[in-house]
Amino acid sequence: RLLLTFSETINSSSFLPSFLSFVDKFGVPTQISYLTSGTVIPVSDNELEIIILDSDLDEIKMKPPLLLFSNSSFLSILEGGFLDNGKNPLKTISVNSSLQISSYLADLSTPILASFVLDMDTSTLTLTWSENVVLDTIDVSGITIQSMRNLMNSNGHYYTLTNATSFYGLLYNILHIRISKFDEDMIKADVNLANSIDSTFISLTRGVIYDPANNPSQEIDSLNGKIANEFEVERIRPNLLAWDILYSTKTVTLQFSETVNVTSFLPIEISFQNRRNNPSQIYQLTGGETNSNFGTLIELVLSDYDLNAIKAFEDLLTSVNNSFISITDDVIYDMSSNPILSIPKGSALQVRNFNRDITRPFLVSSSLNLTNRYLLLSFDETVNQSTLAINEIVLSSFNGSDYYEYSLNSSTWSNVFSPVIAVFLSNSDFNHISLNRICLTSSCYISLDNGTVLDMSNLPSIAISNHLVTNFYPDLAPPYVIEFSQYDSSNGIITILFSETVDIYSFNLTHLSLVSLFEDAEESYSLRNSNTIIYTDFRSIEIILSKVDLLEIQTRNLLCFSQASCYLLFSSDFVNDIHGNKILPQTDGQWPALLAQSFIYDFQRPYIVSYTLNMNTGTFNFQFNEPIDTSLILPQFISLHSSANSSAFYQLTGGNVNQLNSDFIMLNMTLDDINYIKSTFFFKSRNNTYISFLSSTFTDSSYGHNSIISISENSPLQSMQYINDSKSPKIKFFRLDLDQDLLTLTFDEPILLSTLNLSFFTFHLSMSNQSMLLDRGSLISYFFPGSIVATIRLSHDDLLFLKTSSTLSLYPGSYLDVSPFSFSDTANNFFLGSTVRLNISELILDSIASKLIFFSVDMDIGLISLTFDDIINAATLDSTALVLQDDLRSSNRVGLGIFSTTTNSYSYIVDILIHNLDLIRVKETNNLFTNINNSFVTYAAFLLDDSYGVDIIAITNGKALKASNFTPDITQPIFVEFELDLNYGGLNLYFSEPINASSLIPTNIVLQPFESLNSSQVLNISGGNTIRSPDGRSLSLYLLERDLNFIKLDLSFGTIPNNTFIIFPDSTVQDLVGNEVIGTDMKGIPAIRVIEDVSSPELVAFDLDMNVALLSLTFNEVVSGLTASPNTITMHSKLNGSDTFSSHNLFESISSTNNSTILSIYISDNDLNAIKFIRGLALGVTSTFLSHTEYLVLDMNGNM
């Protein structure tokens, strides 16, 4: 109820409920509630009482702390909510200026449980209260479910809740409680409690929940329980959560998802299987008992029948891994008669805990029959033979002090329930026993490990050690060959499969033969005993052929060349089994030979084992790992090397092999190859003898003709042995050619040219007693260090002797004596024995006219020395035939007179003394014989004759011969002219005679743009490098850069001859004998030529100042600032500046306009910021690089 007091009488019928609202505080409220209706009761003229509807009251209670306390109770009324009797509207009381309650009566009513619903299907308890309650104040431990109203009745059942998993509500007066699983199972476990609405009552302690005013709920005691308004029976079916098996108690424990009714339990609906799905073994129970109470756990005691039947399975319920359960939905029901969820055989449930029995079986006796190959084991109880661990059965024997044992591995046995196990020995186990010489006699023992076999409860048998076998029967059956399994022609292996293990020590391989056909074979071969025999699987043996046997077989083309030509024969003496039984024979004429069932062709590539080089015989002896087809050898693919690291220096040209296929090949080299090898320093010992070859060089003789494994040029193979040439070389013949001045010696093998000692050679002339030891001459040959031919250019002394002799003839009388040790071959074998006399095999007399090679001039003494290529008879001199001239084709020339003479006789050199009159004429002739460059001669053929009276070859005008040596006079040289070459940056100075370039003093030279000396406009040369011309009459002075740039900077200076003059004093330069040049006497001499600059300017350095945005470019010459184009410049952060993301091309920067070697680029703000924006660019010297195009700037001559 709400009591409102007004300032005057109010018309109660004017009340508009929606205009009235409650707020929780003055100002800005957090909770607000509007009335929807209400009953108005006048109390006095100015007081009205409003009865608030329950729905509005519930709405208010749902918005705590609204109206819970006096300080959270404020009223707001919109204008018009009430009218006075004059129909004046009540003044607004706004929400933000609400009116606080003046008198407050708190809510003291206790919440009462109006009704409840229990839903066992969802495990939900729903409580409906008389008013709104605070849900999170619920205390579920104060709630008790009971079977009747009054628990004082002796038949009453009850359960007090302990916990709730969650609680929630859609309305504030309704609370839904999710009962915990534990509480749910405890309720279900009591068959008399909450199984219908008639057995579902509730009692509550006081304060099990509170309303918003903190009023505790009303108590419902257990003597007056409240019945449920609704009850939902459980419809959810239980399921099996887990199961355990305990063999020691024969029990299986089943855990369900909820309490189940044990009286409905049917064990026959349970099956066990060995896999979750697709089981290979399965068993369904026939019965069983349980003493379990109602609950989530049932303990099933298995019957003996079922237990033994289960144990009979090899792979069922023996471990966790093969223990799975499946059930039908009839196996048990829950307390609400819901059948359990079945577990089908396709998704069986694996056991959680597994436990076994502990009784163990024991071996009583045993029997071993090696003839029929079986072993009988008798135990004291029935065992599960499927659990037999065959490898834990050990047979053993003692042989003196030696002990041998073997564990069975692959034998089989019966799979039945019996105390006796029959083990049938496998071929492998039998052969192992035999191979290890076990149980050859009755001294045969057996051992079993713990658990060799399990009993019906899967308990392991007790171990025994070395128990004597009770009954023993030895092996009496002979062995035989099952098959000739394989012939491996690649590796040389014969594989034979026997019926049993044979005695490897009894093999006699001489009784084994390979034949080419099953009968009447054309080709056969009996093995030797040097082969290796190994077991592969005890019945199968491999005979690894010896190298000798394999090569013998491989060289027989008809034998085991393919599968169709590979058969086997043997006698009974071939081999015995372990027990001494001889093999059944397979002999020719009695039994057909055994064909190789598998044939491995030789696809392995052959390889070289080693090689020997015999230089005495000129042969390579190659050893291979298998026979090589000699018809397919390609010697031209063999390369020779001088070391392991050298490239090939020679490739054989050919060779031949004169033998059948073999693993040892002798290659006869060609004579050319032998002589080439002998002519080198290499292949002289094992240390410098290496070869390489291609894979196609050699091919084996197998069916597949496999090419050899090549020897790479990068890893040549060293010879295993080197047999050096030990034969002494000999001269075969010699040839004398006086036309070419050559003596040619031909040897029977290459000789070491450096050992050729011509002083051991004596030349004898026919029909006279004249002889001469040859001088050393000069050796010329196309092959070094060794050659089969030695060509010697005879010395002048030798030729003088030969060409001046009138008795030299081909035959008889002219011959050459060769003394021992005059030469050696490249293997250091010297020519030995007595002196050999050789007649000339070919003689060519001199018929070629002599030619002047060079001449020298000494102008101080007037001497011309002529040197010819042949011997000259100086007595035949006619000086009038000689002309001195200044060039090839003369413009100045002087012919000698008859008075010039010589004092020589026979010689290569003729000295002509120039007569005084001829010498004066020469000196009076301008530019003639003043230096070596104007000293030329021509002459007629009659000038001189050679020793055979043949005129020398004339030298005509136009082909004059220049002096090779010139001795100048002592006259002072004269400066002739000069030119300025701006292209290479120098002065070319020309003089009247050869000049000493090192005497030039560049600082004495002045260049100026006018003839007269003017100190204000001159260039004093500051230095430079000087180069003299070949003729000695000109000097090239390379100017320093600053001098050159000085000239280039002034466009009115040094551009044409008329503005280019030179001045220098006498001391500026000297001639070759120290005569000073005649200076210019302070008057400029104009250049004869100015060679303009055509070379491009070059940027040599640059500086970047990021503080002032200045880029300074330094060039190798002056450039024109007006021609600069800064936008051709690109800045880079790396030397290799191809990455555009780390580069910047200037686009707004400008340059200085002055002419200089330094060009200043003023970087614009945009360019500067762009450079700074690029990470890593222009941070230092290592991140500042520059590139530019050819259009950056022009030099002063317009070169880009």
- Annotate 588-621 with b (16+ C-beta within 10 A) or e (fewer): beeeebbbbeebbbbebbbebeebbbbbeebbbb
Q: pLDDT class for 920, splitting at 50, 70, 90?
A: low
Strand partners, 586: 570
Q: Is residue 139 predicted with pLDDT exceeding 70?
A: yes
Residue 194 tokens read as: 């909450």
1016 has a pLDDT exceeding 80: no
pLDDT beyond 70 at 993: no
Encoded tokens for 163: 């916990």
Dihedral sign of CA atoms 750, 751, 754, 758 in order: negative
Residue 27: what pLDDT? 87
Tokens of 956: 């005509």
Torsional sign, CA 913, 915, 919, 921? negative
Alpha carbons 1153 and 1155: distance in angstroms, whole number: 7
pLDDT at res. 1002: 93
Smallest CA-to-CA distance from 302 within 314, 285, 325 is with 285
Lowest-confidence pick of 53-67, 316-330, 562-576: 53-67
Residue pair 959/938 in contact (Cβ under 8 Å)? The answer is yes
Tell me the three-class secondary structure of 1-66, residue by residue.
Answer: CEEEECCCCEEHHHCCHHHEEEECCCCCCCCEEECCCCEEEEEECCEEEEECCHHHHHHHHCCCCC
Q: Tell me the pLDDT tens digit for each residue of 205-230.
A: 999 998 888 889 999 998 899 999 99
Binning pLDDT at 50, 70 and 90, where does residue 723 land? very high
User: What is residue 468's predicted lDDT score, i.e. its pLDDT?
Assistant: 93
Which pLDDT value is given to residue 839? Answer: 80
Q: Does residue 1031 carry a pLDDT above 70?
A: no
Strand order in the sheet with 771-773: 771-773, 761-764, 815-818, 836-839
pLDDT tens-digit profile of 580-595?
Answer: 889 999 887 667 889 9
Asked if the peptide bond before residue 344 counts as cis, ω within 30 degrees of 0, the response is: no
Tokens 């190994």 sit on residue: 534
- Reported as a single tens digit per residue, the pLDDT across 1104-1148 is 999 999 999 999 888 998 999 999 999 999 888 666 678 999 999
How confident is the model at residue 766, as a pLDDT? 65
Taking phi over 0 as left and psi of -120 to 50 as alpha, with beta for the rest, 653 belongs to alpha
If you search the block for the tokens 């085991």, which residue do you land on? Answer: 560
Query: Of 1017 and 1044, which is predicted with more confidence?
Result: 1044
Q: What is the side-by-side strand order in the sheet with 20-23?
A: 32-34, 20-23, 74-77, 99-100
| 9 pLDDT higher than 60 | yes
The DSSP code sequence of 1103-1152 is EEETTTTEEEEEEEEEEEGGG--GGGEEEESSSS---GGGEEE--S-EE-
Q: Using pLDDT thresholds of 50, 70 and 90, give the confidence band for residue 423.
A: very high
- Of 727, 642, 729, 715, which is closest to residue 677 (Cα–Cα)? 642
pLDDT digits 0-9 by tens, 234-277: 888 999 999 999 887 889 999 998 889 888 999 999 999 999 99
Structure-block tokens of residue 769: 């007693």
Tell me the mean pLDDT in the region 643-658. Answer: 90
> In which band, very low, low, confident or very high, does the pLDDT at 170 lie, cut at 50, 70 and 90?
low
From the number of C-beta atoms within 10 Å of its C-beta (0-12, 13-18, 19+), residue 363 rates as buried
- Give me the helices (H) in 625-768, please: 671-678
Provide the pLDDT confidence category of residue 637 given band limits of 50, 70 and 90.
very high
Determine how β-strand 662-668 pairs with β-strand 619-628.
antiparallel
Highest mean pLDDT among 155-169, 1037-1051, 1067-1081: 1037-1051
Strand boundaries in 794-858, DSSP class E: 815-818, 836-839, 842-844, 852-858
The winner for highest mean pLDDT among 165-179, 759-773, 1035-1049 is 1035-1049
Q: Tell me what percent of the residues of the chain surpass a pLDDT of 90.
A: 36
- The predicted model gives 269-298 an average pLDDT of 92
Pairing of strands 852-858, 965-967: parallel
Higher-pLDDT residue of 691, 1200:
691
Distance CA 856, CA 862 (A): 11
Question: Which tokens sit at 657?
Answer: 């092999």
Residue type, 91: K
Most confident of the following: 67-81, 163-177, 423-437, 619-633? 619-633
Residue with tokens 């009459």: 1033
Q: Alpha helix locations (H) across 742-862?
A: 796-803
What type of residue sits at position 124? T
Contacts for 552 with CB less than 8 Å, ≥ 6 apart? 525
Q: Is the pLDDT of residue 1017 over 80?
A: no
**pLDDT value of residue 95:** 85
Percent of the chain with pLDDT over 70: 95
Give residue 1042's pLDDT band: very low, low, confident or very high (50, 70, 90): confident
Average pLDDT over residues 178-195: 86
Number of helical (H) and strand (E) elements in the chain, helices listed first: 10, 93
- What φ, ψ does residue 185 adopt, rounded to 5°? -65, -35
Give, as one character, the DSSP assignment of residue 584: P
The residue type of 206 is R
Higher-confidence position of 985 and 271: 271
**Per-residue pLDDT for 31 more than 60?**
yes
Give me the pLDDT at residue 635, please: 96
Contact 439, 368 (CB under 8 A): yes
Q: Which residue has the higher pLDDT, 781 or 1067?
A: 1067
How many whole angstroms separate alpha carbon 1062 and alpha carbon 359?
Answer: 133
Confidence of residue 359 (pLDDT cuts 50, 70, 90): low
The residue length of the chain stands at: 1200
d(CA 559, CA 484): 15
Position 171 pLDDT exceeds 60: no
Tell which wins on pLDDT, 643 or 948: 643
The predicted structure's pLDDT at residue 345: 93
Once rounded to an integer, what is the mean pLDDT over residues 312-328? 89
Phi, psi of 587 (to 5 degrees): -110, 155
Report CA 868 to chain centroid distance, whole Å: 70
Residue 1177, CA distances (Å) to 666, 1148, 1169 in order:
72, 18, 11
Integer Cα distance of 77 and 70 in angstroms = 18
How confident is the model at residue 679, as a pLDDT?
Answer: 86
Give the tens place of pLDDT for each residue, 860-918.
Answer: 777 999 999 888 888 899 999 999 999 998 888 999 999 888 988 888 899 999 886 77
335 secondary structure, DSSP code: T
Q: What is the mean pLDDT of the chain?
A: 87
Report how far residue 483's alpha carbon sits from residue 481's, in angstroms, rounded to the nearest whole number: 6
pLDDT for 128 beyond 80: yes
In sequence order, what DSSP letters do the residues of 969-986 get, joined into one string?
A: --PPPBEEEEEEETTTTE
Q: Where is average pLDDT lowest: 388-392, 475-479, 612-616?
A: 475-479
According to DSSP, residue 236 is labeled P
| Secondary structure of residue 820 in the 3-state scheme | coil
pLDDT at 690: 95
- Torsion region of 679: left, alpha or beta (phi above 0 gives left; psi -120 to 50 gives alpha): alpha
